[in-house]
């Protein structure tokens, strides 16, 4: 697993010469009511094992949570399931809001 900063992810999403990663938000539904990165696919952490077949093993995945701890655990799990291009968003949506999107609410 590779860690990616919010600034690094923002640059990647804006780079037209590089394929866009898939964003996997593993937070709980109530957390999404406060804030979310619009492009993210939502699958709560506890549902990942049961919904693994919905995720493309060949894709670049950036896993997101509130502060980066749950997403790191999910990223490690995905790697054990033979996903090879997995990134953990360092600091989670909290860091994203503080460094990339200051208009985003925090909690």
Residues marked active site are found at 65
Q: Is 24 exposed, middle or buried (0-12, 13-18, 19+ CB in 10 A)?
A: buried
For residue 106, give the nearest of 66, 68, 69 by alpha carbon. 66
């Amino acid at each position: 697993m590779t860690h990616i900063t919010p600034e690094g992810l923002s640059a990647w999403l804006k780079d037209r010469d590089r394929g866009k990663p898939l964003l996997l938000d593993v937070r709980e539904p109530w957390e999404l009511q406060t804030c979310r990165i619009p492009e993210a696919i939502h699958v709560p952490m506890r549902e990942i094992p049961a919904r693994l077949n919905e995720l493309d093993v060949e894709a670049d995945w950036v896993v997101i949570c509130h502060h980066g701890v749950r997403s790191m655990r999910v990223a490690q799990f995905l790697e054990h399931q033979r996903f090879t291009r997995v990134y953990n968003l360092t600091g989670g949506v909290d860091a994203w809001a503080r460094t990339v999107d200051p208009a985003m609410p925090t909690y």
